[in-house]
Amino acid sequence: MRITDLVEMLKPKRDHISFCVEGARGSFKTTHLYGMYDEVVNAGYETIFAYDVEDIDVCDCLFLDDFGTKFYKRDSSTKQNKEFMKLLQEIRTNISVIVASTPDLSLMDKDFRNFFIFSPLFSTSHQPLAETHNLF
């Protein structure tokens, strides 16, 4: 399913989905997000590519680049983390698709991990998915 199909399917129902792309440094997480971002923009949907909390606003599809590195699990009780989770919960019902990226799940606190469906760029054996699933 394409990212635009998700937005098209969920937007009229005012439904939503949030997923996070996980991968090591240099695994092209941001490149993947940019590719999806371009596809959604070219389809005519309101889209935001956010690098920081201040960039977040209501739209059809929101991309959060490297947000796993901005809110560490050891800081889960900080005011900043609590405010960010509150913001995500508030906007969640107004944004059809939220896509984030993180280098590792362990960087994100429990609330963040529960908010997103995770989509690793590499399998647990750290082989590219193309190799483990015979895509090429």
Residue ranges of domains in the chain, CATH in brackets? 3-132 (3.40.50.300)
Please answer whether residues 16 and 10 qualify as being in contact, where contact means their C-beta atoms are separated by less than 8 angstroms. yes
Residue type, 30: T
Task: Enter the tokens of residue 67.
Answer: 């947000």
Lowest mean pLDDT among 3-17, 32-46, 49-63, 83-97: 83-97
Whether the per-residue pLDDT at 133 is higher than 60: the answer is no
Tens digit of each residue's pLDDT (9 = 90 or more) over 11-42: 888 788 888 888 878 888 889 899 999 999 99
Number of other CB atoms surrounding residue 128 within 10 Å: 13
Residue 40 has what pLDDT? Answer: 95
Q: Is the dihedral of CA 3, 21, 84, 55 positive or negative?
A: negative
Q: Residue 88: which of 117, 53, 121 has the closest Cα?
A: 53
Please answer whether residues 7 and 40 qualify as being in contact, where contact means their C-beta atoms are separated by less than 8 angstroms. yes
